[in-house]
Amino acid sequence: MDKPTKGLADVVAASTALSDIDGKAGRLFYRGYDIHDLAGRATFEETAHLLQRGTLPNRAELQAYGDELVAGRELGPLVSANVAEIAEKQKPMEALRSLVSLASADDPDRDSIEPDADLRKAARLTAQQPLLVARYHAARSGKGVPESDPVLSIAGNFLHQVTGRTPSPREAEIFDACLVLHADHTMNASTFAARVCAATLSDMHSAIVAAIGTLKGPLHGGANEQVMKTLESISPDGVAQTVRDKLAAGEKIMGFGHRVYKTEDPRATHLRRMSEELSGDEPKFYRMSKEMEEVVFETKGLYPNVDFYAASVYHYLGIPTDLFTPVFSISRMSGWTAHVIEQHADNRLIRPDSEYIGERDQKWKPIDER
C-alpha cells in the first residue's frame, strides 16, 4: 500500500461542480464564474442561488428565492425558547452548534433528504444563520433584536440587528461582498466534514452541525479573530519590529499563507480595498495591516489570505471581534448546504483507508497476570 498522505494533502476526495481553485494563478471560481466577476456585482442572495440551485437567477427567480429567504428568517419555538440559556453558558461557535441542532427539530422537512426538501432546508438555513448570530449576541448583551426588515438584504439585516443601527447602503454593499467572498472554497475542512456526514445519508442539519464543529477549531476558523487581537495588542509605531520579533521566534502570524494558493488569495485583493475604504477617519488598523503585510512578505515571502483584511473590515463595520468566525458561518452556509445537496444527489459513503502503525501479535493474558 502506498504511504498515506498526512492531512490528505492533494488527495481528491470528491467530485464537485460548485467551486474550483487555481492555486498557481490565484483564482477562485463558483460554478465557473471567477470570484472577481462576482464580488461587488452579484449579491449574496444571487450567489447562494448559484451554489444551491445551479444558476445565477434571473429577476423572477431571484424574487422567488428572496421571498423564500424572507419567509425562512423566522426561528422556531424550540430555538427561540433556548437562545438565552445557551447564550449564558456557551461561547459563540459552541452556541451556534447547539442552536442549529435545535433548529432541526423545528424544521418542517426534518425527516426528509429528498432533493426538494434539501433545497428548502438550504434556503431556511441560509436565512436563519444570521438571525441566530444576532439573537445570540443580543441575548448575551441583555438587549432585544430589531425586527428583520424585508426590504433589507441578508447583509443589511445582519448589520442592523447586530449593531443596532441601520447600515449605510455602502456598508451593506461591502458586507454583502464579504459574504460572497466567503461563500464556498472547495474541499476545506468544514465542507469535507459536512460531506462525510451527508454521505452516510444523514440529514442536512446534522451535516451542518458537523461543519460548524469543524469550523470552530482554531486551525480552520478563528484566524480573522486572531488577526484583530494581534492588531489591538501592538503599538502602531511598533508593527514592523513586533512582526520581525515574532517571526524570528518562530511564531506564526495569523492571516498569512494558504494551503492551496501560491500567490495572493484573490479574496484578499477585494478585502484590502474594502478595509482601506472603510478606514476613513480611523485608518489605524488599515495602516497597521498594510505595514504588517509588507513586513511578512519581505521576511517570509507570504501573501495575506482571506482572513487578514477581513478582520479590519469587520471591525470597521462594527461587528464584535468574537463574532468574526460566526460571520464566516453565515456566508459559508450557502456553500455547505450546496455541498450537502450535491452529496445527496450522487452519493457514495466516504470511507478512506488507514495505515495501521500499532503493535502486532500481542498475546492475551488474564487480568491477574498483567
Active site residue 36: no
Contacts of 66 (CB under 8 A, 6+ apart): 45
The order of strands in the sheet holding 33-34 is 19-22, 27-30, 33-34
| Beta strand pairing call for 27-30 and 33-34 | antiparallel
Catalytic member of 22, 106, 220, 322: 220
Active site residue 220: yes
| Nearest CA-CA partner of 273 in 170, 129, 146, 157 | 170
Instruction: Indicate the angle between helix axes 44-53 and 154-163, nearest 10 degrees.
Output: 120
φ/ψ of residue 22, rounded to 5 = -105, 95
Alpha-carbon distance 265 to 246, whole Å?
23
Catalytic member of 185, 258, 270, 339: 258
Catalytic member of 107, 307, 315, 344: 307
Task: Report the catalytic residues.
Answer: 220, 258, 307
